[in-house]
Amino acid sequence: MKESRLMLVQYATAVAAVILVSLHLIMQGVIYPYATAISFNNILSVYRNGFYAIFLEALLVVVLVHGFNGVRIILQEFRQSKPWTTWVDAGTVLAIIITVAYGTRTVILAVFGGVTA
Amino acid sequence: MAVGEERAKNKRGIRGWLNPYQYNAERWAYLFQRVTGVAILLYVLGHLGDTSFFVGGPTGTGPSPSAWEFIGSIFENSFGHLILILVVLVVFFHGINGIRLVLAEFGLILRKPSAIEYPYRPKGLGQGQKVLIYVAIAAAVAAAVWAFLVLFEGMG
């Protein structure tokens, strides 16, 4: 993908992250008292509400794409060479895939998994 | 300046970030945007790890009250709450300063071009951007106070 397009991705995810993170903070500290917000039963009900599960998945993807693309931009500024660019880009894609997959696993198991001990 | 010297000057890397020589508000905002960005990413990775304990951790199969209680016993204390307050502080600064950068990128808050005049000092970013930098700092401090009240005083 062209660098100009990747910067647009960075700005789009930045705006989305501001909105989603604000909503996340409001849920954790305004709608419920913090102690209630982090209680097991409350989190379970949040995950099992389809809208919030999609919201948390969107938050996960947006923040990780923005974060790792941001690190990529910083690393690309340090050095300019074809191998460096290739490795940093590949590492960024790999990091996004691994972390999004791990976070998505949490969301899927929280939504569909049976409650254990 | 010789070509070699010019290249060396442009390749200062992180040392270039940490050298505050001739820094103005905009340059500090640039530095903090990057430092807070990396810090937030590290927190998010940790948060991915701790929230996975809601489903029993890396080897879990579903929501687990005991695993969630275990991870809560590690992070739900004064030190953990202090970290959360710092996270709120840097997230607010990073978010609002980031909005400034997006607006500037699309040319919405750039100052008007003007003739270059002696003694050729950099003219900075203009009033709009400077105001947004100070708004970002003020909002970050206010949000940190709010987080303190929520976490330590039970407000919410």
- ipTM of the complex in this document: 0.94
**A68–B contact, CB cutoff 8 A:** yes
**A64–B contact, CB cutoff 8 A:** yes
How near does any CA of chain A get to the CA of B55, in Å?
6
Segment B79-95 mean pLDDT: 96
What does pTM read for this prediction?
Answer: 0.89
Residue B1 has pLDDT above 60, yes or no: no
Does the distance separating the beta carbons of A74 and B91 come in below 8 Å?
A: no
Residue B90 has pLDDT above 90, yes or no: yes
pLDDT score, position A108:
97
Does the domain spanning A3-112 belong to CATH 1.20.1300?
yes
| Chain B: residues touching A (Cβ < 8 Å) | 11, 13-14, 34, 37-38, 40-41, 44-45, 48, 51-52, 54-56, 60-66, 68-69, 72, 76, 88, 91, 95, 98-99, 101-102, 105, 146-147, 150-151, 154-156
Mutate to test the interface with B, among A109, A111, A112 (most CBs of B within 10 A): A109
pLDDT score, position B15:
73
Domain ranges, ordered by start, for chain B: 40-76, 77-110+120-156
Residues 6+ apart with CB under 8 A from B156: A29, A30, A32, A33, A34, A37, B150
Q: How confident is the model at residue B104 (pLDDT cuts 50, 70, 90)?
A: confident
**A63–B contact, CB cutoff 8 A:** yes
Q: Give me the helices (H) in B1-156, please.
A: 3-9, 13-17, 25-51, 65-75, 78-105, 127-152
pLDDT score, position B129:
85
How near does any CA of chain B get to the CA of A110, in Å?
6
Q: How confident is the model at residue A32 (pLDDT cuts 50, 70, 90)?
A: confident
pLDDT in tens, A47-74: 999 899 999 999 999 999 999 999 999 9
Supply the angle between the helices B25-51 and B127-152 in degrees, to the nearest 10. Answer: 30
Residue B107 has pLDDT above 60, yes or no: yes
pLDDT in tens, B3-51: 666 666 666 677 777 776 767 788 888 889 999 999 999 999 999 999 9
Segment A7-17 mean pLDDT: 96
The fraction of chain A above a pLDDT of 70, given in percent, is 100
- pLDDT averaged over chain B? 87
Residue B110 has pLDDT above 90, yes or no: no
